[in-house]
Structure 1
Amino acid sequence: MKSLAFRRLLAHLDSRKDVQNIELMNLSGFCRNCLSKWMLAEAETLGVDLDYDQAREHVYGMPYSQWKEHHQLPATEEQLAIFKAKNG
């Protein structure tokens, strides 16, 4: 069940490429990169061979560099201010 919910979350995020990571961080405290890090940590716990780039590709559905090129926008001053206020 958990893995199905995780796959559904990834599919939802994939369908909302317009939602930037900084927006996710500001609203929820986690983003796609966090999911990648959590996936990597769980893989290490289970002894599964996975590196950070592979985890990010799984979460983003493509190589991270490609996602950044096609979907990542520069953070606005307002987004950065909110992030800084919440994260010090």
Structure 2
Amino acid sequence: MSCSENTNAPAGDPLDAIDDAVAAAAFRRLVRHLRHRHDAQNIDLMGLAGFCRNCLADWIVDAGAPLDKAQAREAIHGLPAAQWKARYQTEATPEQLARMAESLKRNGGTH
């Protein structure tokens, strides 16, 4: 699963007017929500929305967080990614993989 920054934000996007502290608080709430909802598998998030926890980790690094990939994933998952994967991740089904591939096409090459 590959994640890159979506740079297709429209000019004058009202999201850009939200105070950074407010946006950061909302982001932290989203991450903590995902930490709580282990039943929401990354493959299902990718299939439905075209992004997952690993994407969020990539995005914080892309935004300038002084973390390597492993550290960023640990920050998002709440524990080392390998440990999270062993504890919570299930084997992807062919149907999940197909939904993810279709969903990624809708991202227009970026997400």
**Same fold by TM-score, threshold 0.5 exceeded?**
yes
**Among candidates 57, 81, 84, match of residue 98 of structure 2:** 81
Aligned-partner Cα distance in 2 for 1:15–1:4? 17
Contact 2:47 2:97 in 1 (8 A): no
Aligned-partner Cα distance in 2 for 1:31–1:87? 11
Name 1:35's counterpart in structure 2.
56
Q: Aligned residues: percent identity?
A: 49
Aligned-partner Cα distance in 1 for 2:104–2:56? 18
Give the length in aligned residue pairs: 84
- Shift of residue 86, structure 1, vs aligned partner: 3.4
Matches within 5 A, 1:13-52: 13-43=34-64, 48-52=65-69
Unaligned stretches of 5+ in structure 1? none
Q: Runs ≥4 in structure 1, deviation > 4 angstroms?
A: none
- The answer to which structure has the higher helix fraction is 1
Cα-Cα RMSD: 1.3
Between 1 and 2, higher relative CO (CA 8 Å, sep ≥ 6) is seen in 2
The structure whose Rg is larger is: 2
